[in-house]
Amino acid sequence: MPRPSGSNAIEKTLAVLDALGDHERIADIAVATGLHKSTVHRILQEFARLGFAQATEQGTYQGGVRILGLAGRVLARSGAADRARPELDALQEECGGTVHLALLDGAEAVYVAKVEGSKPYRMASRVGMAVPLHTTAIGKAVLAALPDAEVGSLLGRIVLPARTPSTITDPDRLRTHLRAVRERGWSVDDEENEANVRCVGAAVVDHTRRVVGAVSVSQLITDPAYRPPEDIGPRVKRAAWKISRLLGAPAEVSPVD
């Protein structure tokens, strides 16, 4: 982005916002924008107040949840769901369950695509529905792909209400659970969001290698054609990798099983 010229407040604000994508230190943002450090600091403080930035204990700034939410909504409108549709259709055909693609939106994930399963039943989900991160396979796949510090910050700001008796509501237990998700590359919602529904998810990343959402397969555990997570997981992980590639992620972001 060109450096701001003159006293245009909008240019200065947008320049700081743009630089925040690459820098965290006030001094570095000042150098990148050509603005005085006091001006940068004032703009960042206002960003933090409005949720567009987050101040760290080290005195640096990171993008806030409102930036992530805005990015998720723009990405959805820009055709991420359309680009992913062939892979979603292929995953549904391969696994038989209902397939979802959701994008991170602050402390939730929002469904942007749904492919109904080849079943006599239908899941209650719908495009545009927001779901919690701690109860869903999509949400846990996203959390496991975030840096530990960001997960800790996020868990420090939200409550973990129980949706079912199986929901993980203890932050420490959830962190332990997420480490296992990170190691194998796919997550399981074991009736944690809705009784009798088991889902398997894997994270989707963009061209910057940052997690932007996840893909999942949902099944009723009473389905005679039910397939266990150990069977579905590697397939969901592979589909998530292919969708990530469609969004510009480098080939080495995740191994394909």
Beta bridge partners of 63: 53
Whether 13 shows a pLDDT value over 60: the answer reads yes
Question: How much is the average pLDDT of 251-257?
Answer: 56
Weakest mean pLDDT among 142-146, 185-189, 232-236, 251-255: 251-255
| Structural domain 69-253, CATH architecture | 2-Layer Sandwich (3.30)
Q: Assign residue 27 a region: left if phi > 0, alpha if psi is -120 to 50, beta otherwise?
A: alpha
Provide the pLDDT for residue 255. 44
* Percent of the chain scoring above 90 in pLDDT: 57
Whether 251 shows a pLDDT value over 80: the answer reads no
pTM (two decimals)? 0.69
For 62, the 3-state DSSP assignment is: strand
Q: Which fold has domain 9-63?
A: Arc Repressor Mutant, subunit A (1.10.10)
> pLDDT by residue (tens digit) across 216-228?
999 999 999 899 9
Question: How much is the average pLDDT of 114-127?
Answer: 85
Whether 106 shows a pLDDT value over 90: the answer reads no
**Domains in the chain: boundaries:** 9-63, 69-253
Question: How much is the average pLDDT of 96-125?
Answer: 88
For residue 104, give the nearest of 55, 149, 148, 151 by alpha carbon. Answer: 151
> pLDDT by residue (tens digit) across 155-203?
887 889 999 999 999 999 999 999 999 999 999 999 999 999 999 999 9
Q: pLDDT band for 27, please (50, 70, 90 cuts).
A: very high
Residues 6+ apart with CB under 8 A from 36: 30
| DSSP H or E segment with residue 135 | none
